[in-house]
Amino acid sequence: MPRGGNTNARGYGAPHVAARAAMKRAVDAGTAQCSICGGPISPHEPWDADHTDDRTGYRGPAHRSCNRRTGAIKGNRARGQASAQVKRWRL
Ligand SMILES: [Zn+2]
């Protein structure tokens, strides 16, 4: 098996991988903001990549605990704040 694999050929697009890597860098640097609650994400906290509803991109990194809750509170999030992040992380 080739070292690292070829994600492009496996149907999981490189843009997604790049976006996740960018989010990880922000989280690791301690500069990431949760796309759901707007709070800072600590490098030591578990986080998820929060998808846009149409799955064409990511809203950005989100606390795992926030992301797991969004099913219930969808539509309640602060749209104005989220839209800035959609632009930032759009693929
Ligand atoms: Zn959060």
Mean pLDDT confidence for 62-67: 94
Using the mean position of ligand 1's atoms as its centre, give its distance from the Cα of residue 5 in Å. 32
pTM of the model: 0.63
**What pLDDT is attached to residue 13?**
78
Using the mean position of ligand 1's atoms as its centre, give its distance from the Cα of residue 54 in Å. 21
Range of the domain at 79: 14-90
Alpha carbon distance 20, 2 (integer Å)? 21
83 lies in some domain? yes
Using the mean position of ligand 1's atoms as its centre, give its distance from the Cα of residue 63 in Å. 4
- Percentage of the chain beyond pLDDT 70 is 63
Q: Are 8 and 18 in contact (CB under 8 A)?
A: no
5 lies in some domain? no
Q: What is the largest CA-CA distance in the chain?
A: 45
Total number of domains constituting the chain: 1
Mean pLDDT across the chain, nearest whole number? Answer: 77
Alpha carbon distance 73, 32 (integer Å)? 22
- Structure-derived torsion over alpha carbons of residues 32, 54, 84, 30, reported in degrees to the nearest 10: 0
Mean pLDDT confidence for 5-13: 55
Alpha carbon distance 89, 22 (integer Å)? 9
Mean pLDDT confidence for 51-69: 89
